[in-house]
Structure 1
């Protein structure tokens, strides 16, 4: 798999980078991402189908960050070393291109350049387990 950690179409409304998701990275029956022919689970996502959605990202909402997003963010911070809310703040303040550059540096395997899954900490290309991600402030 080519190193496709970040592409604009892979950034979900909530700030999740689908390019580092284990479901996107798996070879068999992989998920194309929340914005690209989403799977049934994505179509039911309460954040994705939020009736208060006014723009491309949750930060466009006057209630940002809402309790749903805070709950998701708390889980991802504690389990997966990433924050959807931090991602959204970074995108809003610095732009998508800078965010994608940062993500490509952060989630690239230092051994082969493949993509490290935020969920498994495993490189999707060389399979190295417990791959080290670079400092989140890259």
Structure 2
């Protein structure tokens, strides 16, 4: 992203102070919502290494091929962030995207776990 450009995660903050430090490894996400937003921005930027590093080992795919993905991500709306204890959280979100000129939306309830002070994406359930 260009210097000063707003982060694609929808926070309204510049990328350099939002998801940029997470993507570079300078910082780790302080909440599951922050991790989910950074993962959305990583899909926008096609940062496969970051996505794999933030995916829990128990559910992480053996490989990703975002280079072949022609999706254009259009926006993110976080609807809910629930953290019932120190190590578990869920984030409900809607992400809009376009493939071959056709609009789509992904409505998901994602599960996260915190291990050794770091949040990881575990899995998601598609919602209607």
Instruction: State if a TM-score over 0.5 links the two structures.
Output: no
Give the TM-score taking structure 1 as reference length: 0.29
Give the TM-score taking structure 2 as reference length: 0.30
Relative contact order (alpha carbons < 8 A, sep ≥ 6): 1 or 2 greater?
Answer: 1
